[in-house]
A = this chain, B = another copy of it.
Amino acid sequence: LFQLEMEADALVNFQHYSSQLPPFYESSCHILHVEVLQQLTDLIRNHPSWSVAHLAVELGIRECFHHSRIISCANNRENEEGCTPLHLACRKGDGEILVELVQYCHAQMDVTDNNGETAFHYAVQGDNAQVLQLLGKNASAGLNRVNNQGQTPLHLACQMGKQEMVRVLLLCNARCNVMGSAGYPIHAAMKFSHKGCAEMIISMDSNQIHSKDPRYGASPLHWAKTAEMARMLLKRGCDVNNTSSSGNTALHVAVMRNRFDCVMVLLTYGANADARGEHGNTPLHLAMSKDNVEMIKALIVFGAEVDTPNDFGETPAFIASKISKLVTRKTLLTLLRTVGADYRLPVTQGPPSEQCSSTTHHSFSLERSQPPPISLNNLELQDIVHISRSRKPAFILSSMRDEKRTHDHLLCLDGGGVKGLVIIQLLIAIEKASGVATKDLFDWVAGTSTGGILALAILHSKSMAYMRGVYFRMKDEVFRGSRPYESGPLEEFLKREFGEHTKMTDVKKPKVMLTGTLSDRQPAELHLFRNYEAPESVREPRFSQNINLKPPTQPSEQLVWRAARSSGAAPTYFRPNGRFLDGGLLANNPTLDAMTEIHEYNQDMIRKGQESKVKKLSIVVSLGTGRSPQVPVTCVDVFRPSNPWELAKTVFGAKELGKMVVDCCTDPDGRAVDRARAWCEMVGIQYFRLNPQLGTDIMLDEINDTVLVNALWETEVYIHEHREQFQKLIQLLLAP
């Protein structure tokens, strides 16, 4: 068993052992094996302060617990940890022993150890949820007891991420609303990014989604460290702009922690990119020190103003100008300048040290050496001063109804899949500059594919900022897997946004048309989904009436979501919607067809004697989804090969040719724009084509946040570079 060096030690040990061993001898039906004895003596040596009950738990022999001496020690906590045998059993996860302790020994479940932890705390830290279940069968105050660290068993389970434990605790009616030292259990789950635990708590008590922690007054969303955790809360309806005690939103925290993915989720769920937090800092102020260009771009494209001063009168650019690392400083200043950042001298001409110290008031330290004070003569600062404040609207007008206008305005939105985000960004800029919602700026809206969806969003008064968030959120679901994608997510999205039973004519203004391609015939024909009656055609029918082809659905019967689905049925991306394919096959840029339709509509009105209702078209605004960079093509040659090398070349040529044909068919820029411009100029219509040049070729089904944020960034740069054109457009749109 073991060997001793000194006789005196042997004597002491003998006395100790002779008092500990008998209950095991006496309660056993058999002679104890040498192995059991060895284990027993080891335990005694290692835990000299344990009672025989503790030893029995560790040994795991059930018969022991009927012995009177062990029973008498059932609640003994006179040991180093101050834990009872029940604590040990719970930690060990031995359900049988636990039953013996509770039933025969009458062990109490609310006894705490030196850390203030009950058996429930120990069970949570074990591996067997069944133990917890057994404990929970009897109501006990120990279930919600707070330990010395200020944690209930639920806190502990959430922190450790033990979903099964959380589930059992909740089933035993453990309270979610016990305030711990760091907040409620959900805060622990969030802090340690245990999604399942958080979800269960919210399911049990939905109020927990808004709960504040005691130290920072922060909501669970503030504590989210990952995109997934944030998304989980937001999907369940938590307030994305909830503020902590210091006035910071979750976005502030995510920026300070340099969590780009979290930032994206918050922004796409409607976080206010311009929210003023502690010391009046916006997230952009905080982002300046993170050296994360992606995050800065994301904040700006989602609406962060680049020249908002904080409580010290510092703008983000000013803060950037104080960054000690030269490369970073120049990068950030250049970045801000490209979108029209303005330099404003601090309101308070305080000493630099005070300005520098402003950020140290943040609840989280910058953990970075302070940049040295720099002269106000810094070149960048001098340059910035002269940049115009083009991104501020010169005036704000109240909403105008189209009845006051003497001429019609037409808005045309190209197709382009997820690149519809570019259109959204352009529309947000127009709305911001004009102070008027898109719906009230235009009398006609034409859209193809993603442009069609946005046209319907405008018709149904959805804000473009909201649509921007939705696009970012939906893209991962809509474009999941490989092509062709399941239609389910897209259709669910459309039904949710527009209603499952909404008809096209339910909302009549502005007039909206979506392009679709009738693909049940060759040649295919363009079909317009309208929220008004189609103009009657007076010209001879192009084809003799084909009795076998079904006529289209009337606008008053046409479901909105189905029209959107049809317009966006891009071949090989989604399956056709019945007989409809994406309108982009015939009119990816719908301007020419919209003008044709308006002309025919007006002619029809005149023929019906309603000439007084006819208004001339005066403005056409055509928004693109971004122009891909032009690249050289080396070979579109398709020929009969005479050797293997030529075979490879002709196969490559055929592939390139196929791509070129699709491009020629669906290019919304190029000829369509030249034709529309010439048409408008001939007729005396003001024509605006807004289509940013993108730096990379972005696919219709792109889902990478960084790529998309960059596209929006390039759109913002485009808007700034063309600010004069924008201002002219706004003036024209607002003129009576």
Which A residues lie at the B interface, using CB under 8 A?
482, 484, 517, 519-526, 539, 542-544, 546, 548-549, 571-572, 575-576, 581, 585-587, 592-593, 595-596, 599-600, 603, 627-634, 636-640, 657-665, 667, 669-671, 674-675, 677-679, 681-683, 693
Q: Which residues of B contact A657 (CB under 8 A)?
A: 571-572
Q: Which residues of B contact A548 (CB under 8 A)?
A: 632
Inter-chain contact A675/B593, CB cutoff 8 Å? yes
**15 A-B residue contacts at CB 8 Å?**
A519-B660, A520-B633, A543-B629, A546-B630, A548-B632, A571-B638, A575-B637, A581-B660, A586-B670, A592-B592, A593-B674, A596-B674, A661-B661, A679-B679, A683-B683
Cross-chain contact A665 with B661 (CB below 8 angstroms): yes
Residues of B within 8 A of A637 (CB): 575-576
Q: Which residues of B contact A675 (CB under 8 A)?
A: 592-593, 595-596, 675
A sample of 9 more A-B contacts (CB under 8 A), given A484-B640, A571-B636, A599-B681, is: A522-B630, A523-B664, A523-B670, A526-B670, A571-B661, A593-B675, A599-B678, A664-B665, A682-B682
A548 to chain B, nearest CB (A): 6
Report Cα–Cα, A636/B582, bound state, in Å: 12
* CB atoms of B636 and A576 under 8 A apart: yes
In the complex, which residues of chain B have a beta carbon less than 8 angstroms from the beta carbon of A592?
592, 671, 675
Contacts of A600 in B (CB 8 A): 678
Contact call B542/A669, Cβ cutoff below 8 A: yes
- Cβ of A576: which chain B residues have Cβ within 8 Å of it? 636-637
Q: Which residues of B contact A575 (CB under 8 A)?
A: 637-639
**Within the assembled complex, what's the spacing in Å between the Cα atoms of A522 and B629?**
8
Measured in the bound complex, the distance between the Cα atoms of B28 and A262 in whole Å is 122
A548 and B638 alpha carbons, distance in the complex (Å): 23
Closest 9 CB pairs of A and B: A665-B665, A596-B678, A599-B678, A585-B664, A543-B630, A592-B675, A519-B636, A679-B679, A682-B683
Cα A433 to Cα B224 in complex, Å, equals 82
A697 to chain B, nearest CB (A): 9
Selected contact of A522 from candidates B631, B638, B669, CB within 8 Å = B631
CA distance A679 to B685 in the complex (A): 12
CB-nearest residue of chain B relative to A672? B592
**B-chain residues with CB within 8 Å of residue A520 when the two chains form the complex:** 632-634
CA distance A683 to B638 in the complex (A): 42
* Complex contact B599–A682 (CB within 8 A): yes
Write the chain B residue with the least CB distance to A658: B658
Q: A586-B664, A586-B670, A638-B484 are in contact. Are A519 and B633 (CB under 8 A)?
A: yes
Judging by beta carbons under 8 Å apart, are A522 and B586 in contact? no
Using Cβ atoms and an 8 Å threshold, which residues of chain B touch A571? 636, 638, 657, 661
Given A571-B636, A679-B679, CB of A660 within 8 Å of CB of B524: yes
- The chain B residue with its CB closest to the CB of A544 is B693
Contacts of A521 in B (CB 8 A): 630-633
Contact B593 A663 (CB under 8 A): no
Residue of B nearest to A526 (CB): B671
The 8 Å CB contact of A660, one of B522, B543, B639, B670, is: B522
Q: Is the CB of B663 within 8 A of A522?
A: yes
B671 touches A587 (CB 8 A): yes
Q: Once the chains are docked, how many angstroms separate the CA of A257 from the CA of B54?
A: 124
- B546 with A627: CB separation less than 8 A: no
For the complex formed, measure the closest distance between the CB of A65 and the CB atoms of chain B, giving whole angstroms: 60
Across the interface, which residues of B come within 8 angstroms of A603, CB to CB?
Answer: 681
Q: What CA separation (Å) do A634 and B522 show in the bound complex?
A: 10
Contact B628 A678 (CB under 8 A): no
**Once the chains bind, are B630 and A523 in contact (CB under 8 Å)?**
yes
A479 smallest CB distance to B (angstroms): 15
Among B523, B595, B660, B681, contact of A678 (Cβ-Cβ < 8 Å): B595
Complex formed: what's the CA distance from A587 to B681 in Å?
Answer: 21
Residue pair B630, A664 in contact (C-beta under 8 Å): no
Q: How far is the CA of A97 from the CA of B597 in the complex (A)?
A: 93
A678 vs B598: C-alpha distance in the bound complex, in angstroms? 9
A667 touches B523 (CB 8 A): yes
Q: With the chains together, A640 CA to B484 CA distance in Å?
A: 7
Which of B484, B593, B627 is in CB contact (< 8 Å) with A671? B593
> Chain B residue with minimal CB distance to A633?
B522
User: Which residues on B sit within 8 Å (CB–CB) of A595?
Assistant: 675, 678-679, 682
Whether B572 contacts A638 by the Cβ 8 Å rule is: yes
